[in-house]
Amino acid sequence: MSTYDLIIKNCIVVRPDSDSTERLDVAVKDGKFAAIEQDLDVSLAAKVVDAGGKHLFPGVVDAHQHWGIYNELSEDTDSESRASAQGGVTSGITYIRTGAYYMNKSGPYREIFPQILAAAEGRAFIDYGFHVAPILKEHIDEISDLIDMGVPSFKIFMFYGIHGLHGNSNDQGKFLMIPEDESYDFAHFEFVMRGIEQARRDPKYAKIKDQISLSLHCETAEIMRAYTKLVEAEGTLTGLEAYSASRPPHSEGLAITIASYLAYETELPNINLLHLTSRKAIEAAMMMQATFPHINFRREVTVGHLLADFTTANLGGKVNPPLRSREDVDALWDHLLAGHFSWVTSDHACCKDETKFGDPRDDVFLAKSGFGGAEYLLAGLISEGRKRGLSYNSIAQLVSKNPAERFGLAGKGNVAVGFDADFCLVDDTTTYTVRAEDSLSSQGHTPFEGFELTAKVTDTYLRGSGVFADGEIVGAPRGRFLNRSGE
């Protein structure tokens, strides 16, 4: 019987806890990293793979995805987990809520969440988990139930109360499927925070209380509603630039300030500020960190907002919050290099062509919001990051270790003995052009069409077994639900 199931030879190991990369051999046994050393004896392994000098990164933990938003959850679990594996993602956490889209139903999560699990079971090529949004009043009372079901992370969409997913809306109550006597507003957000903090203080969750957190999509509905009317009335801006102007950066800054004060008021310390897109947004987030130093803020940026601006992406790049100016992109990079962002995600939301675009096709206000991008997360960050001086070890922290630790994914996010052998091999000697036809996503288009990248994931392994190689998925779906209940 072999000592190891697999040895990867001739690779450059990228570890988030190291200051440099190292040429080492990596051994796997029973789905775990078993040895990371120089010159391992290949006779001890049942299988040996020569990495050919490629970089071995820890599997990406993409903590912001949206499986099932525009397509059936079972369908997205299959196709979009394929695209994730193509990008070196081995663990994905997707946002789920009641209301329109996703499961297209409302009611208690004790009834709906088991249906969510059933829809995804046996179809994913990567490991997966969920964040849940408490939409109804009764959902606040279910927070402990959700934690027991493996979900200790929650979300608030701050603009949903009076502004639509794609633009102005006249009936958000119908969209959210909430009763007439309930509202989705600042008061609801406060009570959600109080409910989460109450759960954190329950002695039964003492071991995982630091992983119980709230994420917020920070935009201010009243600002966006007014500016959308202004932009449409003036009619001078078009495309993604018009959409950015309709949801201006100070809308983000104001929402971040409100969210942070509510966290202070409710004594909820674990706050994640999602997909910050602008200089004003990250500056507001840093001001709130200085104002409330006892709050354990995490700040997120997406690869889309780091790679594209409203002049370089096509209309498929409509997303919330919007793609911004090149000046904002540069500001995000300045703050990323300064260590002000906690992780980088994809915000992957597959929206097929027939769903994405309206009639006329070039009207940005008729297009749906969101796009896929997990397949470009690591490659895009490496391609642009090394130009700007971002080290590979820092990239491993941003896409693997930091989100794994925040969201309670024990044994994920690092290349270390005893951790799950989730990893990918990256060729950083290549140059190629992004084409939607090369993606394993079912989306069929990409806002990154024509972008040039200088790194590519060639192989992805989940718990020591290959799931992506030679541009294709390998084998049957082996992804598991990541139960983060602490049990």
Q: How far apart are CA 240 and CA 485, in angstroms?
A: 41
Domain of 250: which CATH number? Answer: 3.20.20.140
Residue 465 lies in a domain: no
**Among candidates 394, 393, 395, which has minimal Cα distance to 379?**
395
pLDDT at 1: 78
Q: In the predicted model, what is the mean pLDDT of residues 211-224?
A: 97
Model confidence over 62-80: pLDDT tens digits?
999 999 999 999 999 999 9
Whether 24 is covered by a domain: the verdict is no
Band the pLDDT of 310: cuts 50, 70, 90. Answer: very high
**The pLDDT of residue 487 is above 80:** no
Smallest CA-to-CA distance from 250 within 275, 292, 293, 283 is with 283
pLDDT digits (tens, 9 = 90+) for 139-194: 999 999 999 999 999 999 999 999 989 988 888 999 999 999 999 999 999 999 99
Each residue's pLDDT tens digit, 340-367: 999 999 999 999 999 999 999 999 999 9
Residue 426 domain-assigned (yes or no): no
Residue 475 maps to a domain: no
Cα 424 from Cα 438, distance rounded (Å): 18
Per-residue confidence at 318, pLDDT binned at 50, 70, 90? very high
Does residue 20 lie in a domain region?
A: no
Mean pLDDT of the chain: 97
Q: Is residue 455 part of a domain?
A: no
Domain interval for residue 154: 60-409+431-449
Domain membership flag for residue 467: no
Per-residue pLDDT tens digits for 420-464: 999 999 999 999 999 999 999 999 999 999 999 999 999 999 999
| pLDDT of 306 | 98
Report helix angle 221-234 to 239-246, nearest 10. Answer: 140
Going from the C-alpha of 303 to that of each of 38, 214, 395, 427, 433, the distances in angstroms are 34, 21, 12, 19, 17
What mean pLDDT do residues 19-33 have? 97
Give the global pTM: 0.98
**Beta strand pairing call for 452-453 and 432-433:** antiparallel
Asked, for residue 313, whether it belongs to a domain, the answer is: yes
Please check whether residue 62 is in contact with residue 91, taking contact to mean a CB–CB distance below 8 angstroms. Answer: yes
Q: Return phi, psi of residue 421, to 5°.
A: -80, 65
Gap between the Cα atoms of 90 and 88, Å rounded: 6
Pairing verdict, β 213-217 and 270-273: parallel
Burial-class residue 437 by CB neighbours within 10 Å (0-12, 13-18, 19+): exposed
User: What is the average per-residue pLDDT within 230-245?
Assistant: 97
Q: Domain total for the chain?
A: 1
Work out the burial of residue 206: count CB atoms within 10 Å of its CB; fewer than 13 is exposed, 13-18 middle, 19 or more buried.
exposed
pLDDT, position 486: 85
